[in-house]
């Protein structure tokens, strides 16, 4: 696919007229999907899907469009050229954009991250035995995902990675659930078996009579999947420099008042894992690592070239939406075996759900506990808890209330498939909190 993309782009760029700037982006996948229900395969299929998008700039006006990409050079050249002609007619009717960002020259990149995936014929035998004694439903997705970007200033980028994800739920007879995702680039049967066994242990605990706890502040452990959800909120009115400049960011207190989080909290963008490309939709290449918060102190925000131009900042080549693409939280020294003992009496939260800002400027996040969430007494899980709403500020749970961070991070893959398999995810440890506010 790379060879066809390169050939089509070169031919299209040769068709440009004076004063025209063009960026072409490609997204595609070659994936296998398997749907499981009651620990049996119910549906399977293969998907090969590729599309390209175009951004044409003339003067201070820009127009965008997209179309499927077949992988046949001559046919794709004709289709893309037709789309270019359509954009030429459209762009002259659009208003000028004072902060438009033109393509610029730079080094091209070519990255292929090969994985070690299960052979397609071995998937059933690899996945089902570890979970065949329980009611399991889930989706297996695996294969290659690729992205390309080329512009008329001479840049050409290609990124390709092989990944897998098994996103599943285990269900008790009274329909209580344990949710988990096993994902990565290299299949490890032993690790999967251990992971599945841990899910089954949680499922057995879910069969205990549930308890309803009163609203209040509780000593709490939040597992990596829940931590990833909380950190994900930083991509929406959080670490965006534009949001800070517009007074609509949860990090305004840190920027303007030098408020700090716990010294145990460090967060960065880390593209070294090979699950997401460093180049953005404009073909700009971000640093391989970008520290965002170091020991509780805000050191960088996400700055797109458009924001840099509008507010006189220096771009670090964030994408236009200025969200995190490869977040990684630094680990601590709390071992997995010591979690329940250190928690003592309190709440163990495996998953969170329906997160939203309840007070963005105050950093308050609300949501629901979900799936395998338990009441713990004297270091022992005694019962699942009924679903509760939480509402607390990250200035608390990543601040003064953060007591410990686990010594191992887990990669929480983005398993969304709306419009195509998503890239990336977040690398997160678990966190132990002195208190966490459950409100309803």
Q: What is the pLDDT of residues 102-152, one digit of tens each?
A: 998 989 999 999 999 999 999 999 999 999 999 999 999 999 999 999 999
Question: pTM score, two decimals?
Answer: 0.95
Over residues 251-275, mean pLDDT: 95
pLDDT of residue 274: 85
The DSSP annotation for 104-165 comes to -----EEEEE--BPPPGGGHHHHHSGGGTTSEEEEEEEEEEEEEEEEETTS-EEEEEEEEEE
In this prediction, residue 297 has a pLDDT band, given cuts at 50, 70 and 90, of: very high
State the virtual CA torsion across 238, 242, 243, 247 in degrees, nearest 10: 140
Q: Are residues 359 and 276 in the same domain?
A: yes
Whether 142 is covered by a domain: the verdict is: yes
Residue 238 is classified by DSSP as T
Over residues 326-340, mean pLDDT: 97
Q: Are residues 316 and 223 in the same domain?
A: yes
For the cut 90, the answer to whether the pLDDT of residue 419 exceeds it is no
Q: Are residues 256 and 339 in the same domain?
A: yes
Q: What would you measure as the largest C-alpha separation in the chain, in angstroms?
A: 74
Q: Is the dihedral of CA 254, 222, 129, 34 positive or negative?
A: negative
Which domain-ending residue is among 206, 233, 249?
206
pLDDT of residue 173: 93
Which domain-ending residue is among 206, 229, 252?
206
Which domain-ending residue is among 182, 206, 230?
206
Whether 211 is covered by a domain: the verdict is: no
In this prediction, residue 273 has a pLDDT band, given cuts at 50, 70 and 90, of: confident
CATH for 157: 3.30.2290.10
CA dist 160 and 183 (Å) reads 17
The DSSP annotation for 281-311 comes to TTSPBPPSEEEEEETTEE---B--HHHHHHH
pLDDT of residue 104: 87
Total residues belonging to the chain? 440
The interaxial angle of helices 73-91 and 2-13, nearest 10 deg, is 40
Q: Are residues 90 and 159 in the same domain?
A: yes
163 half-sphere exposure, CB direction, 13 A CA radius: 26
Q: Is the dihedral of CA 204, 207, 209, 213 positive or negative?
A: positive
CA dist 313 and 307 (Å) reads 7
235: left (phi over 0), alpha (psi -120 to 50) or beta: alpha
The whole-chain average pLDDT of the chain stands at: 96
For the cut 90, the answer to whether the pLDDT of residue 285 exceeds it is yes
Whether 93 is covered by a domain: the verdict is: yes
Q: Are residues 153 and 7 in the same domain?
A: yes
Residue 265 is classified by DSSP as -
pLDDT of residue 367: 98
Q: Are residues 101 and 181 in the same domain?
A: yes
How many C-beta atoms surround the C-beta of residue 264 within 10 A? 20
Q: Are residues 152 and 291 in the same domain?
A: no
Helix (H, G, I), strand (E, B) or coil at 203: helix
Whether 164 is covered by a domain: the verdict is: yes
Three-point CA angle 338, 408, 235, nearest 5° = 120
Q: Are residues 318 and 197 in the same domain?
A: no
How are beta strands 402-405 and 431-438 bridged, if at all? antiparallel
Helical H runs in 207-323? 224-232, 241-245, 252-257, 305-311
Question: pLDDT (tens digit, 9 = 90+) per residue, 197-251?
Answer: 999 999 999 999 999 999 999 999 999 999 999 999 999 999 999 999 999 999 9
Q: Are 155 and 163 in contact (CB under 8 A)?
A: no
Q: Are residues 267 and 345 in the same domain?
A: yes
* Residues with Cβ within 8 Å of residue 227, at least 6 apart in sequence: 329, 428, 429, 430, 431
In this prediction, residue 418 has a pLDDT band, given cuts at 50, 70 and 90, of: confident
Three-point CA angle 135, 423, 359, nearest 5° = 85
Whether 166 is covered by a domain: the verdict is: yes
State how many domains the chain has. Answer: 2
Whether 322 is covered by a domain: the verdict is: yes
Query: Can you give the C-alpha Rg of the chain in angstroms?
Result: 24
Question: pLDDT (tens digit, 9 = 90+) per residue, 59-92?
Answer: 999 999 999 999 999 999 999 999 999 999 999 9
Tokens 């049967």, residue? Answer: 189
Whether 369 is covered by a domain: the verdict is: yes
Q: Are residues 12 and 68 in the same domain?
A: yes
Report residue 19 CA to chain centroid gap.
Answer: 37
Q: Are 68 and 75 in contact (CB under 8 A)?
A: no
Q: Are residues 20 and 161 in the same domain?
A: yes
pLDDT above 90 covers a percentage of the chain that reads: 97
Q: If 0-12 CB within 10 Å is exposed, 13-18 middle and 19+ buried, where does residue 132 land? A: exposed
Domain region containing 195: 2-206
pLDDT of residue 244: 98
Q: Are residues 19 and 128 in the same domain?
A: yes
pLDDT of residue 62: 97
Helical H runs in 266-373? 305-311, 339-343
Whether 388 is covered by a domain: the verdict is: yes
């Amino acid at each position: 696919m790379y060879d066809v993309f390169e050939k089509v782009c070169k031919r299209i760029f040769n068709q440009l007229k004076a004063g025209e700037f063009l960026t072409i982006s490609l997204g595609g996948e070659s994936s296998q999907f398997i749907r499981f229900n009651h620990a049996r395969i119910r549906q399977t299929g293969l998907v090969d899907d590729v599309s390209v998008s175009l951004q044409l700039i003339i003067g201070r006006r820009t127009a965008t469009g997209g179309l499927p990409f077949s992988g046949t050079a001559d046919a794709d050249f004709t289709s893309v050229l037709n789309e270019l002609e359509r954009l030429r007619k459209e762009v002259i009717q659009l208003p000028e954009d004072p902060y438009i960002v033109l393509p610029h020259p730079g080094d091209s990149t070519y990255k292929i991250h090969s994985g070690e995936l299960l052979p397609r014929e071995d998937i059933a035998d690899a996945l089902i035995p570890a979970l065949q004694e329980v009611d399991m439903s889930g989706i297996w997705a695996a294969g290659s995902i690729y992205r390309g970007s080329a512009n008329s200033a001479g840049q050409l980028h290609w990124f390709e990675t092989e990944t897998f994800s098994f996103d599943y739920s285990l269900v008790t007879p009274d329909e209580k659930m344990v949710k988990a995702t096993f994902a990565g680039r290299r299949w490890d049967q032993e690790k999967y078996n251990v992971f599945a066994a841990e899910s089954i242990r949680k499922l057995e605990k879910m069969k205990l009579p549930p308890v309803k706890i009163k609203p209040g502040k509780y000593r709490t452990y939040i597992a990596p999947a829940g931590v990833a959800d909380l950190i994900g909120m930083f991509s929406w009115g959080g670490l965006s420099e534009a949001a800070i400049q517009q007074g609509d960011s949860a990090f305004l207190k840190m920027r303007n008042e030098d408020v700090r989080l716990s010294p145990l909290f460090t967060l960065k963008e880390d593209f070294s894992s090979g699950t997401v490309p460093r180049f953005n939709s404009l073909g700009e290449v971000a640093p391989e690592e970008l520290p965002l918060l170091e020991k509780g102190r805000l050191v960088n925000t996400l700055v797109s070239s458009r924001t840099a131009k509008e507010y006189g900042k220096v771009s670090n080549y964030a994408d236009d939406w200025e969200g995190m693409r490869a977040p990684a939280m630094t680990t601590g020294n709390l071992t997995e075996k010591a979690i329940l003992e250190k928690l003592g009496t309190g709440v163990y939260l495996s998953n969170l759900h329906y997160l939203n800002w309840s007070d963005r400027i105050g950093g308050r996040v609300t949501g629901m506990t979900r799936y395998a969430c338990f009441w713990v007494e004297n270091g022992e899980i005694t019962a699942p808890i009924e679903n509760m709403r939480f509402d607390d500020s990250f200035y608390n749970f990543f601040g003064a209330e953060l007591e410990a961070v686990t010594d191992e991070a887990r990669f929480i893959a983005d398993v969304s498939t709306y419009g195509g398999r998503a890239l990336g995810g977040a690398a997160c440890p678990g966190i132990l909190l002195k208190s966490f506010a459950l409100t309803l």
